[in-house]
Structure 1
Amino acid sequence: MTTLADPVPGGRPGDVERAKALGGELAGRGVHGIVLSYVDTAGVGRVKTIPTAKLASAAAWGVGMSPVFDTFLANDSIVSTDVLGSPDGDLRLYPDLDQLTVLAGQPGWAWAPVDRITQEGEPHPGCSRTALRHLVAEAAERHGLTFRAGIEVEWSVGQGPTEGGEFVPALTGPAYSATRQVELSDCTADLLAAFAAQGVEVEQIHPEYAAGQFEISVGALDPVAAADRSVLVRQTIRAVSRRHGFVVSFAPAVLAQGVGNGGHIHLSAWRDDVNLHSGGEGRYGMTADAESFTAGVLTHLPALTALTAPSPASHLRLKPSQWAGVFTCWGRETREAALRVVTGTAGLRGQAANLEVKPVDLAANPYLALAGLITAGLDGLASAAPLPEEITGDPARLEPAAAAARGVRRLPASLAESVAEFRKDERLRAALGPVLADAVIAVREGEIAAVDGLDDERVAVAYRWKY
């Protein structure tokens, strides 16, 4: 359960006492340090680490870190807005003790996500975790809605670090093959053991389509906890793989050609513990609210790609007819549609029905991506937006006139186009607030400038080991 209250100087009620007890317990288990984790605007996980003995101090007064990281690029260059990007100022990182986890793949360490506040004790307007937490709380208060979310994680497994940073697949077997499963058997068994020890519910883990690629699906949680879990899952995969001599990449495109790594988001809206995506009178059992929620996401999808596919490398992955979902359409179990309506199997639909958003990768800050998707869905729900006709098959094969008549259009084909759509989307920018929205634009434009003149292969190389 995510801690919902904002941090305050001196600590949230009960946190300091709890942190003291946790610190003693962790020390007794041989945990020497704690990773304090957040994700920056570029989608890079950033950390500060503290000795276990300092956990109570962190719960009371936070740990310092500069706000300049909100405008870091993936290559660690710095851009700026009128508020962010200067060397001035400081923030305090406050761990969410409810999410504190002993890292089975990193003996001697624990991990906790953080919220960031100013030195004056106010929520930092650039903190994406806080923005998502506030949005979820507001949806519950104003609409009586809660959400369940899960983020798929695809990654590429390479042979140990190479001198030139090349990607050499550690697996030789075909996609989804028993050969691949055997080749990575020891490592994936250790991953399953680590996730079980960390309380992470694994639904599936299997070899995937691209060279050296695997995928893991984990159980759904509230959106903030789901984003936290996505960060923790990647931390664990990276650590366990290193112990087996592998290097891993979660970059959208490890190579310029072929299928990339996705980070599909599954999202469902609930009211009074009832799934709105099942048991209704709409298409495939959707309620009217679920149809409108889906319509809202569909309407805002071009602008949302600035949050869900935020890297120049993202657009090496977002290609038609590669199951990346690059057209504004939806369909039941249609893997080429940007929105895949998942009904679940008979007997489980009340729990399993959800909306899968496909044009998402792991360069995305998961808190920003979920905040954008929920905002878009709520916008559709508030206006009772009608959900258009579904598509079947591959929308790339539609004749232009037929596609236009059905409202099916290509999502932005470049990061510059995504930014232009995001600039026009007042609803999304308002939900993030001006500081965070401006940071998104500045960082995306900085990434565009960073790869100016590079061909696709060099773009893939530039981001290969950043995520």
Structure 2
Amino acid sequence: MTIDALEPHPLVRLLGKPSADFTGADLVHAIEQLGLRQVNLRYVGGDGRLKTVAFCINSREHLVEVLTRGERVDGSSVFPGTDTANSDVYIVPRHRTAFLNPFGERSSLDVLCSFYDEAGKPLPYAREQIVRRAAEALTQETGMTLEAFGELEYYLVDQPERIYPVEEERGYQESGPFSKGERVREQVLGHLSTMGVQLKYAHGEVGNILENDRQLVQHEIELQPVPLEQAADNLVLAKWVVREVAYSHGLEATFAPLVSSKGAGNGLHIHSRLVQDGASTIVGEEGINDVGRRLIAGYLSAAMALTAFGNTAPTSYLRFTGGDESPEGICWGMKDRTGLVRVPLAWGGGVLSGMFAHANPGSTEPVPEPAIHPQTVEFRLGDGSADVHLLLAGMAVAAKRGLSDPDSLELAERLSTTNHDDFEQLPASREESADALEAERGLFEADGVFPGALIDAVLVGLRDTEDATVDGGPAQDEEAREELIRRHWHVG
């Protein structure tokens, strides 16, 4: 097949095939052609972060073995609560995820892995397996595939600058030299695109915060819609790359839900759409259709419980009550940035051709139609502390309920911001989030998607009383609030 001349993934160009078709033999060929001497097997741990096992290539036979057999690792060190007496698990490479590592002392080929137990069966509590089961259960019942992508917000922390100083809360899509960290952002884009992560754009975000000894400048990367498992992996890779590039510049990057007593926190809004036979099923000639409304109803119906996966830090709940476009009410609206779910503009109604003609007088170029309609539903619940694999799996579970529940359309109508403005509020603490998850745990455990033991572990973590944020806790005490923010600085 012909590879697009602008394809940024060097392995795709070298092998002449899309990454979805990569084989072990392809990766061996690429390593030989590029003269690589190291392979890194990567996986997502129980804390949601990217882990690494590095292999020095000793021979072709050894390379084939690593790329085929994978390795065994100590599951009790990867997943808290695992029995240490029976903790060996396998990690097996998924060849389609391979990329060239842009960091490290030696050039290497990296591959994401999946977990399996001693019998060779998918490890039930591994993050990537939970997402896969959730996506498969949705497709099996509805025939539709849930695609998603995230808006990843983060802050770069540095000393204040005297030249072109930043202005507080004036960072939205700012350009250099007023935008600080623009080079970091561009390097992140370059690395992610060559790793096969499909991107939409990156820009400066609103949050510019000036303190006595530092400045915090907010940025955002928006990805492209892909199937759920890939969307989760892409967000983990994006966080890793942001941190690596920032570190190389002597800067600190944080995805914390709250970074200061003033200014915006870091959200993680997730866009999604349902696709069947190569077409979007959530939009019609008049915009969002009944399938889209059922999808929205599913998200809203499970929103309280989904905070357990999307808002894991105590500071998440301080952010909820702090305003700055953070959602509080469980509702939705068209283009409305105050609701928990938003239906953004999507070039509907034939407006694109008119805008293009006005912006380019005399042009006779045809205006191409996208392969899949770009309309998405934006779920504004998550923040930088989210366990992204569990959040996306939970969204698939909620979507499945919304699509099958006969009362979904009535629920969507009732929770629309066009009808009233008095809606149920999101949890005010991790304790309340835990209560909501416990009440809904049957929804997530259905079809074997979420193991009961994992739900138990999430509940225990949420009910840790050390970081209480209500009833006179750090939410009311400025010094304790700042200490809480620092304690949960490097989340996700």
Q: 1:85 to 1:47 in 2, by over 3 A?
A: farther
Kindly provide the amino acid, as one letter, of the partner of residue 110 in structure 2. Answer: W
The aligned runs of 1:326-365 (5 Å cut-off) are 326-346=328-348, 347=350, 351-365=373-387
Q: Is the 8 A contact 2:384 2:491 kept in 1?
A: no
Counterpart of 1:438 in structure 2 is: 456
Counterpart of 2:428 in structure 1 is: 413
The aligned runs of 1:304-323 (5 Å cut-off) are 304-319=306-321, 321-323=323-325
Distance 2:47 2:347 in 1: 37
Counterpart of 2:391 in structure 1 is: 369
CA displacement at 1:146 relative to structure 2 = 0.9
CA displacement at 1:228 relative to structure 2 = 1.1
Cα deviation, 1:305-330, whole Å, max 9, x if unaligned, reads 10111122322322253212221000
Distance 1:379 1:180 in 2: 48
Out of 9, 30, 34, the position equivalent to 1:29 is 34
Out of 89, 97, 100, the position equivalent to 1:99 is 97
Aligned residues: 420
1:61 aligns with 2:60: no
Range that drifts further, 109-118 or 220-229: 109-118
Q: 1:55 to 1:97 in 2, by over 3 A?
A: farther
Counterpart of 1:144 in structure 2 is: 143
Counterpart of 1:275 in structure 2 is: 280
Q: Is the 8 A contact 1:339 1:356 kept in 2?
A: yes
Distance 1:55 1:313 in 2: 45
Out of 433, 444, 458, the position equivalent to 1:428 is 444
1:193 aligns with 2:209: no
CA displacement at 1:251 relative to structure 2 = 1.9
Cα deviation, 1:209-233, whole Å, max 9, x if unaligned, reads 2231100111111111111111111
Q: Is the 8 A contact 2:153 2:255 kept in 1?
A: yes
Larger Rg: 2
Q: 1:148 to 1:314 in 2, by over 3 A?
A: same
Distance 2:45 2:313 in 1: 13
Distance 2:83 2:49 in 1: 16
Distance 2:268 2:430 in 1: 17
Cα deviation, 1:407-456, whole Å, max 9, x if unaligned, reads x111001111101100000202333121322232233334x446797632
SS at match of 2:185: helix
Q: 1:103 to 1:93 in 2, by over 3 A?
A: same
The aligned runs of 1:21-420 (5 Å cut-off) are 21-26=26-31, 28-52=33-57, 55-69=63-77, 71-72=79-80, 80=81, 84=82, 86=84, 88-106=86-104, 108-159=107-158, 172-173=166-167, 174-176=170-172, 177-179=174-176, 182-210=179-207, 211=209, 212-279=217-284, 285-319=287-321, 321-346=323-348, 347=350, 351-384=373-406, 385-386=408-409, 387-389=412-414, 391-392=416-417, 403=422, 408-420=423-435
Cα deviation, 1:376-403, whole Å, max 9, x if unaligned, reads 111011113121245559x9xx8xxx61
CA displacement at 1:252 relative to structure 2 = 1.8
Q: Is the 8 A contact 2:179 2:204 kept in 1?
A: no
Q: 1:70 to 1:451 in 2, by over 3 A?
A: farther
Kindly provide the amino acid, as one letter, of the partner of residue 64 in structure 1. Answer: R
Q: 1:179 to 1:429 in 2, by over 3 A?
A: same
Distance 1:305 1:292 in 2: 20
CA displacement at 1:115 relative to structure 2 = 1.1
Range that drifts further, 315-324 or 49-58: 49-58
Kindly provide the amino acid, as one letter, of the partner of residue 429 in structure 2. Answer: S
Q: Is the 8 A contact 2:429 2:468 kept in 1?
A: no
Q: 1:97 to 1:443 in 2, by over 3 A?
A: farther
Distance 1:98 1:58 in 2: 15
Distance 1:318 1:46 in 2: 30
Q: 1:445 to 1:41 in 2, by over 3 A?
A: farther
Distance 2:266 2:401 in 1: 29
Kindly provide the amino acid, as one letter, of the partner of residue 443 in structure 2. Answer: R
Kindly provide the amino acid, as one letter, of the partner of residue 244 in structure 2. Answer: A
* Percent sequence identity over aligned pairs: 22
Distance 2:165 2:310 in 1: 28
Distance 2:400 2:109 in 1: 36
Question: Runs of 5+ in structure 1 lacking a partner?
Answer: 1-14, 73-79, 161-165
Counterpart of 1:4 in structure 2 is: none
Q: Is the 8 A contact 2:316 2:383 kept in 1?
A: yes
Range that drifts further, 338-347 or 114-123: 338-347
CA displacement at 1:175 relative to structure 2 = 1.5
Q: 1:443 to 1:65 in 2, by over 3 A?
A: farther
CA displacement at 1:40 relative to structure 2 = 3.5
Distance 1:365 1:91 in 2: 21
Kindly provide the amino acid, as one letter, of the partner of residue 465 in structure 1. Answer: H
Q: Is the 8 A contact 1:69 1:85 kept in 2?
A: no
Q: 1:40 to 1:363 in 2, by over 3 A?
A: farther
Distance 1:171 1:146 in 2: 46
CA displacement at 1:27 relative to structure 2 = 5.3
SS at match of 1:259: coil
CA displacement at 1:253 relative to structure 2 = 1.9
Q: Is the 8 A contact 1:40 1:365 kept in 2?
A: no
CA displacement at 1:375 relative to structure 2 = 0.5
Distance 2:296 2:373 in 1: 18
Distance 1:47 1:315 in 2: 32
CA displacement at 1:286 relative to structure 2 = 2.5
Cα deviation, 1:272-314, whole Å, max 9, x if unaligned, reads 222122116xxx5223222112111111100011011112232
Q: Is the 8 A contact 2:46 2:126 kept in 1?
A: no
Normalised to the residue count of structure 1, the TM-score between the two structures is 0.81
SS at match of 1:203: strand
Q: 1:287 to 1:463 in 2, by over 3 A?
A: same
1:463 aligns with 2:457: no
CA displacement at 1:249 relative to structure 2 = 1.2
